[in-house]
Amino acid sequence: MPMLDIPEKVSVPEINFTDKVDLDPEQTALLIIDMQNDFVKPKGRLQVESAWETIDRIKHLIDKARRAGIRVIYTQDTQVEQDPEFDVWPQHCKKGTWGWQIIDELKPEERDMVIRKNRYDAFYGTALDHYLSNIWGLKNLIIVGTVANICVLHTAASAGLRWYRVNLVAEGISALTTFDLALTFRQATQLYNAKIVRRVDDLQLQENKDLSKERKKEFIPHTIE
């Protein structure tokens, strides 16, 4: 059988963006993927240069989500000595180091949840699905962060396989290359029926002061190992 002829260059299929998405805050959580020093800051071990440009946009989304009473969840890539992942990538995000910490510009509040994970997929080996589904009964996820085709895509895929309605905000997601970013959006829409909006303000999240106050009173374990 002849070998498949793969061209050196390929074009990216058209990405199906959604103009506006209206989400029920009571059924929605915001998931911020791996915005940590090692991935975002210039001195980070695996810096994604475009991640720096997403900080203010993600902060705007966090503020908007909190005003609507939406739960805010961070993932924190957490590695240890002799982790098998270091056979794939240089050492990074080792627990307790500066590079492991979530960036100060997006520092979680006490009422936010931090999910510490050691694989690309934030659902793998963590209690994330338990809280989203069994404790809170949520249906919608908004996902932003880094790295697009690695932890963002694997988490979005895992959410889609669990039948969560996945929503990605393009301006809040960063990648090492534009191809990787486009691939992420293509896979998410084609395989997991995700909706992708270009900007934070394309998400219709109505401010809900009563729900926001309720969230402030709600007990949420701050860090989940």
Instruction: Please name each of the domains of the chain with its CATH number.
Output: 21-79+94-224 (3.40.50.850)
- 10-residue mean pLDDT profile of the chain (225 residues): values are 73 89 96 98 96 98 95 96 89 96 96 96 97 96 98 98 98 96 96 98 87 74 75
pTM of the model: 0.93
Show Cβ contacts of residue 60 under 8 Å, excluding neighbours closer than 6 positions: 200
Contact 36, 76 (CB under 8 A): yes
Q: What is the token pair recorded at 204?
A: 């219709």
